[in-house]
């Protein structure tokens, strides 16, 4: 705030320095041979009239700071555009109108006998599950030693040794001077755990939730305690887990319905403008589900454009959508990579690709001309287990224990059930994609190595291509 060129930049824009706030951004890596310095970019925003600082960026001004010297080493003021209006940008509920303001009656899930789960330290027991909840500065929530109870064998059987979000890649699609470096790695560069926030009872989590604190070593080596970082609760939203109505038996109608009640472990990480709601959900049928909800505020770009017609006349690529006068929402992605160390009925597990293939009926013994069947392939090498999803080649992805069989001789297995399918569209030689080569495939399976847990490498800030999942698996 005392740097003369910056003071001049604020003055020429007609802004009040008292309403200027600044934040730090990672610089990335773009082929530089030597770096080795602790360097950040500083960008600034204007609060005048709103708490939504992201809606009013001071576009065109970039400050490069060497953190070892605590000096500005480069200063850029390249373009000047109008400051977006403050009106209508305040996100606080008290400023909202229906339907975003308070319009519905309060909702509460009652449990007259209390919750069904038990917590002993960081061990959780619920229904047929028991598991450990841990905290990591990078990943946030870590689920360990998840076992499911088998009522026939009368013992717990291991499912998963450890699971967490290994990396979170957020590349923006604007190659301009002010934006090209915005290719964030929210785990490695910022830390989901470090960015965790205290949860708000009855809003972040329902009634009867159990809360846990997080403790970690601060920059000065002293313990830091964050209260209510985790909440654990039973979720019921009126869904059905299983049902059947049988009308085929004379003089008897059988209806059986079971509600879908699950157990959720939740943490929220606020990384700058975005809030990630991180849920690990356990179901009675043995399923484990990783859910990520995205909330918060877009990162906006200020522009001179006020209407789409102006952009169409110039035919300029604005790298996003015009959302309001002088405001662009820049195109970008969020790629979440999960680390899953499975222990399906023990530690000796294999990866199986069960491919669904069409067969043609050629013997003339059926009016049918085709059907499909399943062919299984056990991955022998890491190359066998690099999976790119193709809707034309459907397959089930299984983690099996080849040494354990069911009563009828089937492999004991867990299926990897995918949600939405995503793939980066950046070129493979683009520097952000080189660093994020772990997104080149949707699924990778590697031989266990305790040093290979972070998909982008141990140290993401200004990282190159030398320590990623794509490099480790070249050992094949």
Distance CA 412, CA 342 (A): 13
Give the confidence band of 109 by pLDDT, cuts at 50, 70, 90: confident
pLDDT at 301: 97
Tell whether 409 is covered by a domain: no
Asked if the model's pLDDT at residue 268 lies above 80, the reply is yes
Q: What are the CA-CA distances from residue 170 to residues 131, 136, 175, 188, 306 (Å)?
A: 30, 20, 14, 12, 27
Task: Pick left, alpha or beta for residue 58 (phi over 0 → left; psi -120 to 50 → alpha; otherwise beta).
Answer: beta
Give the confidence band of 204 by pLDDT, cuts at 50, 70, 90: very high
- Domain count across the chain: 2
Give the confidence band of 185 by pLDDT, cuts at 50, 70, 90: very high
Q: What b-and-e string marks burial along 66-82, b requiring 16 or more CB atoms within 10 Å of the CB?
A: eeeeeeeeebebeeebe
Tell whether 357 is covered by a domain: no
Q: What is the DSSP letter of 332?
A: B
CATH code of residue 451? 2.70.98.20
Asked if the model's pLDDT at residue 103 lies above 80, the reply is no
Tell whether 35 is covered by a domain: yes
Work out the average pLDDT over 395-418.
Answer: 94
Based on the fold, state whether residues 241 and 124 are members of the same structural domain. yes
* Average model confidence (pLDDT) across the chain: 95
Evaluate whether 44 touches 21 at the Cβ level (below 8 Å). yes
- What DSSP string describes 204-236? TB-TT-EEEEEEEE-TTSSEEEEEEEEEEEEEE
To the nearest whole percent, how much of the chain has pLDDT over 90? Answer: 91
Q: Which residues are within 8 A (CB) of 312 and not within 5 positions of it... i.e. 6 or more apart? A: none
Based on the fold, state whether residues 91 and 150 are members of the same structural domain. no
> What is the value of pTM for the model shown?
0.94
Q: Burial, 64: exposed, middle or buried (Cβ in 10 Å; 0-12, 13-18, 19+)?
A: middle
Work out the average pLDDT over 351-377.
Answer: 95
Question: 132-176: per-residue pLDDT in tens?
Answer: 999 999 999 999 999 999 999 999 999 999 999 999 999 999 999
Tell whether 187 is covered by a domain: yes
Asked if the model's pLDDT at residue 473 lies above 80, the reply is yes
Based on the fold, state whether residues 48 and 149 are members of the same structural domain. no
Q: Which residues are within 8 A (CB) of 280 and not within 5 positions of it... i.e. 6 or more apart? A: 141, 143, 163, 264, 265, 288, 289, 290, 291
Based on the fold, state whether residues 73 and 218 are members of the same structural domain. no
Q: Which residues pair with 263 in a beta bridge?
A: 234, 282
pLDDT at 149: 97
Work out the average pLDDT over 267-286.
Answer: 97
Distance CA 407, CA 242 (A): 24
pLDDT at 104: 77
Find tokens 């049902």 and name the residue: 243
- Angle (CA) 357-362-367 rounded to 5° is 95
CATH code of residue 26? 3.10.450.40
Tell whether 365 is covered by a domain: no
Based on the fold, state whether residues 24 and 149 are members of the same structural domain. no
Based on the fold, state whether residues 166 and 270 are members of the same structural domain. yes
Averaging pLDDT over each range in 91-95, 236-240, 339-343, 416-420, which range is the top one?
A: 339-343
Work out the average pLDDT over 4-16.
Answer: 97
Find tokens 């089930």 and name the residue: 396
- Within 10 A of 4 (CB to CB), how many other CB atoms are there? 8
Last residue of a domain, one of 95, 128, 144: 95
Tell whether 196 is covered by a domain: yes
Give the confidence band of 349 by pLDDT, cuts at 50, 70, 90: very high
Asked if the model's pLDDT at residue 124 lies above 80, the reply is yes
Based on the fold, state whether residues 219 and 278 are members of the same structural domain. yes
Asked if the model's pLDDT at residue 107 lies above 90, the reply is no
Work out the average pLDDT over 238-266.
Answer: 96
Distance CA 205, CA 265 (A): 10
Based on the fold, state whether residues 187 and 50 are members of the same structural domain. no
Long-range contacts of 452-457 (CB under 8 A, 24+ apart): 453/166, 453/339, 454/138, 454/166, 454/167, 454/187, 454/188, 455/166, 455/167, 455/337, 455/339, 456/166, 456/167, 456/169, 456/185, 456/187, 456/188, 457/188
pLDDT at 391: 85
Closest of 466, 462, 465 to residue 435, by C-alpha: 465
Please give the backbone phi and psi of residue 307, each rounded to the nearest 5 degrees, phi first.
-150, 150
Q: Which of 186, 345, 411, 467 is catalytic?
A: 186
Based on the fold, state whether residues 282 and 181 are members of the same structural domain. yes
Q: Does the annotation mark 186 as catalytic? A: yes
pLDDT at 292: 95
Give the confidence band of 33 by pLDDT, cuts at 50, 70, 90: confident
Question: 205-245: per-residue pLDDT in tens?
Answer: 999 999 999 999 998 999 999 999 999 999 998 999 999 99
Based on the fold, state whether residues 88 and 128 are members of the same structural domain. no
Give the confidence band of 178 by pLDDT, cuts at 50, 70, 90: very high
Q: Which residues are within 8 A (CB) of 295 and not within 5 positions of it... i.e. 6 or more apart? A: 274, 275, 276, 277
Q: What b-and-e string marks burial along 171-190, b requiring 16 or more CB atoms within 10 Å of the CB?
A: bbbbeeebbebbbbbbbbbb
Helix (H) or strand (E) segment spanning residue 424: none
Based on the fold, state whether residues 53 and 199 are members of the same structural domain. no
- What DSSP string describes 455-471? TT-S--TT--SSSSHHH
Give the confidence band of 460 by pLDDT, cuts at 50, 70, 90: very high
Q: What b-and-e string marks burial along 123-137, b requiring 16 or more CB atoms within 10 Å of the CB?
A: ebbbbbbbbebbbbe
pLDDT at 422: 87
Instruction: Out of 91-100, 329-338, 374-383, pick the least confident.
Output: 91-100
Domain around 81:
4-95
Q: Which of 46, 181, 274, 431 is catalytic?
A: 274
Tell whether 361 is covered by a domain: no
Tell whether 395 is covered by a domain: no
Based on the fold, state whether residues 32 and 172 are members of the same structural domain. no
Last residue of a domain, one of 62, 95, 128: 95
Asked if the model's pLDDT at residue 182 lies above 90, the reply is yes
Asked if the model's pLDDT at residue 433 lies above 80, the reply is yes
Last residue of a domain, one of 95, 129, 160: 95
């Amino acid at each position: 705030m005392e740097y003369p060129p910056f003071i001049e930049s604020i003055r020429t824009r007609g802004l009040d320095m008292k309403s200027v706030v600044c934040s730090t951004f990672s610089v990335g890596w773009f082929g530089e041979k030597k770096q080795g310095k602790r360097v950040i970019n500083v960008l600034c925003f204007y609060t005048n009239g709103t708490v939504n600082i992201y809606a009013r960026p001071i576009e065109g001004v970039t400050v490069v700071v060497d953190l070892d010297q605590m000096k500005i080493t480069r200063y850029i003021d390249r373009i000047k555009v109008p400051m977006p209006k403050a009106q209508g940008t305040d996100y606080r509920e008290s400023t909202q109108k229906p339907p975003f303001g308070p319009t519905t009656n309060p909702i509460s899930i009652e449990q007259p006998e209390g919750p069904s789960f038990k917590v002993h330290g960081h061990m959780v027991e619920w229904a047929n599950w028991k598991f450990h909840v841990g905290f990591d500065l990078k990943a946030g929530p870590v689920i360990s030693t998840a076992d499911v109870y088998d009522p026939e064998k009368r013992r717990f059987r291991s499912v998963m040794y450890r699971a967490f979000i290994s990396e979170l890649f957020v590349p923006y699609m604007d190659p301009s001077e002010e934006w090209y470096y915005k290719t964030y790695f929210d785990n490695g560069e910022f830390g989901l755990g470090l960015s965790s926030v205290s949860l708000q009872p009855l809003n972040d989590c329902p009634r009867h939730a159990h809360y846990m604190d997080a403790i970690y070593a601060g920059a000065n080596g002293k313990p830091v305690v964050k209260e209510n970082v985790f909440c654990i609760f039973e979720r019921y939203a009126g869904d059905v887990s299983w049902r059947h109505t049988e009308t085929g038996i004379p003089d008897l109608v059988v209806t059986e319905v079971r509600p879908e009640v699950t157990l959720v472990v939740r943490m929220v990480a606020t990384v700058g403008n975005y809030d990630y709601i991180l849920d690990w959900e356990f179901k009675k049928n043995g399923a484990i589900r990783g859910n990520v909800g995205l909330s918060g505020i877009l990162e906006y770009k200020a522009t001179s454009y006020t209407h789409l017609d102006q952009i169409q006349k110039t035919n300029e690529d604005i790298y996003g959508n015009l959302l309001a006068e002088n405001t662009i929402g820049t195109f970008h992605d969020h790629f979440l990579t999960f680390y899953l160390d499975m222990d399906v009925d023990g530690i000796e597990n294999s990866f199986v690709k069960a491919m669904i293939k069409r067969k043609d009926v050629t013997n003339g013994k059926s009016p049918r001309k085709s059907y499909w069947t399943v062919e299984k392939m056990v991955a022998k090498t890491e190359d066998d287990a690099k999976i790119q999803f193709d809707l034309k080649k459907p397959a089930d992805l299984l983690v099996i224990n080849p040494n354990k069989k069911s009563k009828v001789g089937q492999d004991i297995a867990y299926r990897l059930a995918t949600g939405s399918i995503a793939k980066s569209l950046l070129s493979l030689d683009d520097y952000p994609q080189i660093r994020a080569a772990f997104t080149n495939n949707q699924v990778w399976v590697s031989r266990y190595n305790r040093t290979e847990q972070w998909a982008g490498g141990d140290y993401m800030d200004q990282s190159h291509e030398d320590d990623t999942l794509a490099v480790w698996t070249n050992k094949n």
